[in-house]
Amino acid sequence: MRILLIEDDATLADALTRALRMASHTIDWAPDGEAGDQALNGRVHDVAVLDVRLPKMAGWEVLRRLRARKDSIPVLLLTVCDSLDDRVRGLDLGADDYLTKPFELPELEARLRALYRRSHGAGPEIEHGPLLFDNIGRRAYVNGEPLELSARELSVLEVLLLRIGRVISKDQINHHLCDFEQDLGANAIEVYMHRLRRKLEPAGIVIRTVRGLGYLLEKPQHA
């Protein structure tokens, strides 16, 4: 997942960023409400984690503006106050879920994965011929055998599986993978695609290059 974290507590943000990156996610951090509003308006993310009490612009206003733009990105609210009024207010403004501070990282990850799967219409596992992608365990298997993939390769495979039968551009893949201030570039994406093809094609799973447009995950040759 590419996650936008809007949180003014730098210590908490750093800890979450490190932990989620180790879990193969890409994290962009916005330290205040204005920066969060700009990031949501200008970047492509899979899910947003939004603190409700932020400097420069409250999280409630960030959420209100987001939904006013008809942006349907899943939003998980962070709040220090587990009051019914706060929960109702957040849900009424368009939040998809909420978590009360302090929280445990495994619960945050589980909630984010659930929001991500829900937004893409995917279950805990994605099957594609002999390939099985475990969304929860963050592992891939071919014919029941573990497929050794780097974190980047795993993320590329994930985004392809979520768009089976549709062409995905290098820019879209880059948005899914890259850090907030880092552009991976077309060459790096080609390297990841080459590595994935080498590991998947023996099982009849083909990633086709659509010239000038991007990549397409085809149906397995041996269904």
Please report the domains of the chain, with CATH numbers, ordered by start residue.
Answer: 2-120 (3.40.50.2300), 125-217 (1.10.10.10)
Count helices and strands (H / E) in the chain.
Answer: 8, 11
More confident: 43 or 159: 159
pLDDT at res. 155:
82
Contact criterion met (CB below 8 Å) for 60 and 27: no
Q: What is the mean pLDDT of residues 138-153?
A: 87
pLDDT, tens only, 172-211: 787 666 543 455 666 888 898 999 999 998 888 889 998 8
pLDDT range class, residue 124, cuts 50, 70, 90: low
Reported in sequence order, the residue ranges of the chain that DSSP labels E, i.e. its strands, are 2-6, 26-30, 47-51, 75-79, 97-100, 125-128, 131-134, 139-142, 145-146, 207-210, 214-217
pLDDT at res. 34:
96
Q: What is the mean pLDDT of residues 29-41?
A: 94
pLDDT at res. 120:
63
pLDDT > 90 in the chain, percent: 30
- How many C-beta neighbours within 10 Å does residue 3 have? 22
pLDDT at res. 36:
95
Q: What is the DSSP secondary structure assignment for residue 168, as one 8-state letter? A: B
Provide the token pair at 71. Answer: 């942006």
More confident: 143 or 178: 143
Q: Examine the pLDDT at 95 and tell me if it is beyond 60.
A: yes
Distance of CA 164 to the CA centre of its chain: 17
Q: Examine the pLDDT at 29 and tell me if it is beyond 70.
A: yes
Q: What is the mean pLDDT of residues 19-41?
A: 90
pLDDT, tens only, 42-57: 767 889 999 998 999 9
Reported in sequence order, the residue ranges of 135-179 that DSSP labels E, i.e. its strands, are 139-142, 145-146
Q: Examine the pLDDT at 119 and tell me if it is beyond 80.
A: no
Q: Cis omega (within 30 of 0) on the bond before 102? A: yes
pLDDT at res. 180:
39
Q: Examine the pLDDT at 137 and tell me if it is beyond 80.
A: no
